[in-house]
Amino acid sequence: MRLKLTLAALLAILAPARGAYAQGCALCYTSASALGLSGQRSLDYGILALLTPALVLFISVIYMLYRRAVSATA
């Protein structure tokens, strides 16, 4: 129950951040669209390389919090 309340509170905090989805750099968009196919592929790989460690850390913290919540109720 506590986990559901925490997730609901987190969702309530993050839901109003709709303006963050509209952020985009026109210069970045222009330079990325001017790249060739190999440049675009390199940009995609760079994004994945930066995303992977952050995603692994995020998922591991969520998993640890979940395990703590489950062990506290047992």
**How far, rounded to the nearest angstrom, does the alpha carbon of residue 13 sit from its chain's CA centroid?**
15
Say what the pLDDT of residue 53 is: 94
- Among 22, 24, 5, 23, CA closest to 13: 5
Residue 20 has pLDDT above 70, yes or no: no
CA-based R_g, the chain, Å: 19
Assigned token pair, 65: 């919090």
Convert the pLDDT of each residue in 52-61 to its tens digit. 999 999 999 9
More confident residue, 39 or 20: 39
Give the pLDDT band of residue 68 (cuts 50, 70, 90). Answer: very high
Residue 24 has pLDDT above 70, yes or no: no
Give pTM, 2 decimals. 0.54
More confident residue, 44 or 21: 44
